[in-house]
Amino acid sequence: MNKGFYRFLRVWMFLGFAFLYIPILVIIVMSFNGTAYGMFPFQFTMEWYSYLFTKSELLPATMLSLKFSLAVAFTAVIVGTMAAFGMQYMTPGMGKKLNTVLQLPITIPWLVQGVSLLLLLNLLGIGRSYFGMFCGNIICVLPYVVMLVLGRFAMADRTPEAAARLLGAGPLRVFFDVTMPMIVPGILAGGMMAFIVCFNSFCIQYYLAPFGVRTLPVEVFTLIKTGYKADLNALATLMILISLAAIILLNRLGYSGSSLFSTGAKKGNDKL
Amino acid sequence: MKTKTKKNSFKIGSLWAGPSALMLLCLSLIPLAMLLLFSFMDGNITNGVFPGWTIENFQKMFSSNVFSKLMAKSLGIGALVTVICILISYPMAWGMAKAAKPHNRSMLMMLIILPFFTSQLLLIYAMMMILQSGGILMTLLGALGITTDGTSILYTPKAVILVLVYEYLPYMVLCLYTSLESIGDNLVQASRVLGAGTFRTFINVVFPMSIPGLLSGILLVMVPVTGSFAESALVGGPNGMMVGSLINSQYNTVLNMGYGASLSCVFLIILSIIMAVVRMLVNLAERRIGGETE
């Protein structure tokens, strides 16, 4: 390709990234702005950060979301890893069928997923509850865990397991001493994805959270409906930094970009 | 499906997938199947008691034009946002895959996936801050004399489209990048050596090979955009309603869950049909273009 065309691509790319990041940078800058409503002139302050950690109504919602997402991610990791492990024993046909069903919670709009689950829970007399919210979120994060762990299985060399079995190790011993270390990066990445997706899943929590209970996404939704909130800028800045840290960590584990979202699990991972 | 013991190929180890299969059955398949049932429900479930059957929901939906109007509008917004995303992200993804220096690629990749890891609501909020009257963009445009002071596109349908493009652009870039990256440089080189210009190389070599990524990008963007309601609720203003808002209102304000169920059911069916058509068209295009290069 000629030089001029590549220069055009680079300029376009730069503009695209500017479009994506200017709003985020504005939030970060505004979180240090003392003037009300994010207006000029800019006055440096740390006030919003201290407000966030002392008085803000965002703090309890954040803590609730952290605890809840941890519980969901933990469960999803256990169940999802078991599933990926079990799928190793399935016939290709059966594995494919399960894989298709697994895609369902992430391909249908979460609005429909949330609504249909709410109706079922209502019918069962459970309705909006922590249990319901837990169920709704776990089904939406489970596919990510299974995909990422499956990807590790696809890459792994399976002969050491056979060797261990021949040498007399029991199935549990083989799993924890041989299989487990091979798939740990997938489990960690799956856990992180599950946590982050659950932490941010507004739609499901909006429909299934118990009345009066506000997780962070629900709280943020009601807050920004009413307009500008300076302490939200501070929280957003912290969340973006934490996300960045998570991405760097995932990168170290060998997961970059598309491998986190490739739903076919055929590629394993593509290191850059 | 997991416990077909009659097959002799069944291995006891596959039972490990049992809990997941059970969860998928109870939390995804059964609720979706029940949605069809609930769409014939007359009103709401109170204390676990089913209120009875009716076909009024569907009569109501198809007799008034509220649903069809909003559905058409949402599909239009979905298509428009998808097209804008493709136009912006194709050169971006191509640039990332081929024009960027290899050691920068990993950083660019991280920058593209950061929005995925950020709350959807924070992205909406970030855009709202830029757009608010008296905010950065509007002050700037006002100072340049392009807009009069105090006006803003916030709380109009235009803002909904802008926010949706902003939110879903990374999905499209990521999908296209994956396909474009796998195109061998030799192939492009060969096309150039054989005398094809940039445009012909694009039409005959690059574009056909990017179709799988394009398809997954379209599916990943169009489905959630068409079903979105948070964006229109937050930045759409009074005229920003989409079909998602209509479904949502049945659960949060009007409280007619049976009607809500039938709306979501028809919505899901229409969406599936459109996605199947998109898939078919793209496959057709792939074969067409693939044939021409012979």
**B19 prior amide bond cis, ω within 30:** no
Residue A234 pLDDT class (50, 70, 90 cuts): confident
For residue B205, what are the domain limits? 67-292
Does some domain include residue A19?
no
**pLDDT tens for each residue of A100-125:** 888 888 788 888 888 888 888 888 87
The total of structural domains in chain B comes to: 1
Does some domain include residue A229?
yes
pLDDT computed for residue B149 by the predictor: 58
Chain B: residue nearest A199 by CA?
A: B119
Contact B173 A16 (CB under 8 A): yes
Chain A: residue nearest B224 by CA?
A: A109
A39 in B contact zone (CB under 8 Å): yes
A75: its two tokens = 């469960």
Residue A257 pLDDT class (50, 70, 90 cuts): low
Distance CA A263, CA B1 (A): 21
**pLDDT tens for each residue of B235-266:** 887 777 888 888 888 887 777 888 888 888 88
Distance CA B244, CA B115 (A): 23
Does some domain include residue B42?
no
DSSP state of B49: B
DSSP state of B133: T
Chain A: residue nearest B223 by CA?
A: A109
**Closest residue to B121, CB basis, from A9, A202, A251:** A202
Does some domain include residue A271?
no
**pLDDT tens for each residue of B142-193:** 777 666 656 677 788 888 899 999 999 998 998 888 888 888 778 888 887 8
Q: What's the rounded mean pLDDT across residues B36-41?
A: 82
Give the CATH number, domain containing residue B174. Answer: 1.10.3720.10
Q: Which of A85, A218, A203, A64 is nearest to A140 (CA)?
A: A203
Tokens 């076919």 belong to residue:
A264
Contact B136 A26 (CB under 8 A): yes
Does some domain include residue B102?
yes
H runs (alpha helix) in B25-119: 30-38, 56-63, 66-94, 102-117
Q: Please name the residues between 91 and 150 in chain B that touch chain A, using a CB distance below 8 Å.
A: 91-92, 94-96, 98-100, 105-106, 108-130, 132, 134-136, 139
Does some domain include residue B34?
no
Does some domain include residue A18?
no
Does some domain include residue A272?
no
The total of structural domains in chain A comes to: 1
Does some domain include residue B62?
no
Read off φ and ψ for residue A239, nearest 5 degrees: -65, -40
H runs (alpha helix) in chain B: 18-24, 30-38, 56-63, 66-94, 102-117, 120-131, 136-143, 157-181, 185-193, 198-201, 207-226, 230-235, 243-252, 257-292
Does some domain include residue B6?
no
Distance, CA of B234 to chain centre: 18
The maximal CA–CA distance of chain B, rounded, in angstroms, is: 77
A42: its two tokens = 């800019």
Does some domain include residue B224?
yes
A143-176 as b/e: b if 16+ CB within 10 A: bbbbbbbbbbbeebeeeebeebeeeebeeeebbe
Contact B91 A248 (CB under 8 A): no
Distance CA A216, CA A128 (A): 17
The CA R_g of chain A, rounded to the nearest whole Å, is 22
Q: A53 or A17: which carries more pLDDT confidence? A: A17
Question: In terms of pTM, does the model score above 0.95?
Answer: no
Q: B8 or A90: which carries more pLDDT confidence? A: A90
Distance CA B139, CA B132 (A): 9
A175 in B contact zone (CB under 8 Å): no
Quick check: B269 pLDDT over 50? yes
**Closest residue to A224, CB basis, from B18, B47, B125:** B125
**Closest residue to A196, CB basis, from B117, B127, B134:** B117
Q: A16 or A45: which carries more pLDDT confidence? A: A16
* 3-class secondary structure, B151: coil
Give the CATH number, domain containing residue A251. Answer: 1.10.3720.10
Q: What's the rounded mean pLDDT across residues A126-146?
A: 89
Which residues of B fall within a CB distance of 8 Å from A12? 91-92, 95
Lowest mean pLDDT among A34-48, A91-105, A162-176: A34-48
B98-124 as b/e: b if 16+ CB within 10 A: bbbeeeebeebbbbbbbbbbbbbbbbb
**Cα–Cα distance list, B253 to A122, B46, B67 (Å):** 17, 16, 17
Does some domain include residue A4?
no
Closest chain B C-alpha to A172 CA, distance in angstroms: 12
Does some domain include residue B89?
yes
B41: its two tokens = 């429900």
Q: Is the Cβ–Cβ distance between B125 and A220 less than 8 Å?
A: yes
A112 in B contact zone (CB under 8 Å): yes
Does some domain include residue A268?
no
**Cα–Cα distance list, B127 to A209, B135, B216, B233 (Å):** 26, 10, 26, 14
Which residues of B fall within a CB distance of 8 Å from A88? 13
**pLDDT tens for each residue of A175-185:** 888 888 888 88
Contact A83 B21 (CB under 8 A): yes
Q: What is the DSSP string of chain A?
A: --HHHHHHHHHHHHHHHHHHHHHHHHHHHHTTB-SGGGPSSP-B--HHHHHHHHT-THHHHHHHHHHHHHHHHHHHHHHHHHHHHHHTTS-HHHHHHHHHHHHHHHHS-HHHHHHHHHHHHHHTT--SSHHHHHHHHHHHHHHHHHHHHHHHHHHS--HHHHHHHHTT--HHHHIIIIIHHHHHHHHHHHHHHHHHHHHH-HHHHHHHSPTT---HHHHHHHHHHH---HHHHHHHHHHHHHHHHHHHHHHHTT--THHHH-TT--S-----
Q: Which of A193, A188, A185, A192 is nearest to A155 (CA)?
A: A185
Q: A85 or A228: which carries more pLDDT confidence? A: A85
One-letter amino acid at B112 equals I
For residue A203, what are the domain limits? 59-261
